[in-house]
Amino acid sequence: MYLIVGLGNPTTKYEKTRHNMGFDVVDAIAEKYNITIGEKKHRAMCGKGVIEGVKVMLAKPLTFMNLSGESVSSIVDYYHIEPEEEMLVIYDDISLAPGNLRIRKKGSAGGHNGIKDIIAMLDTDVFARIKIGVGEKPPHWDLADYVLSRFPKEDRELVDGAIDEAVKAVALIVRGETDEAMNLFNRKKQ
């Protein structure tokens, strides 16, 4: 089974914020592939289904962003998932402009606390990830306030396009075609 994790913060207070890009992409995946994310277990909302002939579990950790590793490690341990080959994490990235994607097979946390916690809990940074650009923090803004804010209309349109591209990338990645996904989607849009 392939684990697809979208990072975000639970509750309606955080819906459609920059920090909830992972949740938004997982919701779009669920809609496209008719997967119900309705089961609460492993401190996450989960749903099982099939994408391109591959059995998958979609997960949205309910631990709040900075403790995402608790939920992810619980799922990985319970289902005996090999993160290096059977896990994809989707999350926001302030170093990318809105609408841009960056797909990687491994890497550091890059300052993202949710990824930092996952790496610490799994003791590996070798797992696929899709980073969704949310734009750089403006001067004089607190980082937490920025990532927990919503997009202006013009950026929301760019981000919605990136969500669609991320769903297409997921279909390639679960089939083992991560290099193809990187070639198609790792390009600057602005």
List active site positions.
19
DSSP 149-160: SBPPHHHHHHHH
Strands laid side by side in the 44-51 sheet: 39-41, 44-51, 54-61, 2-6, 87-93, 128-133, 101-104
Cβ contact 91:112 at 8 Å: yes
Place of tokens 């279909």: 171
Pairwise CA distance, residues 75 & 5, whole Å: 10
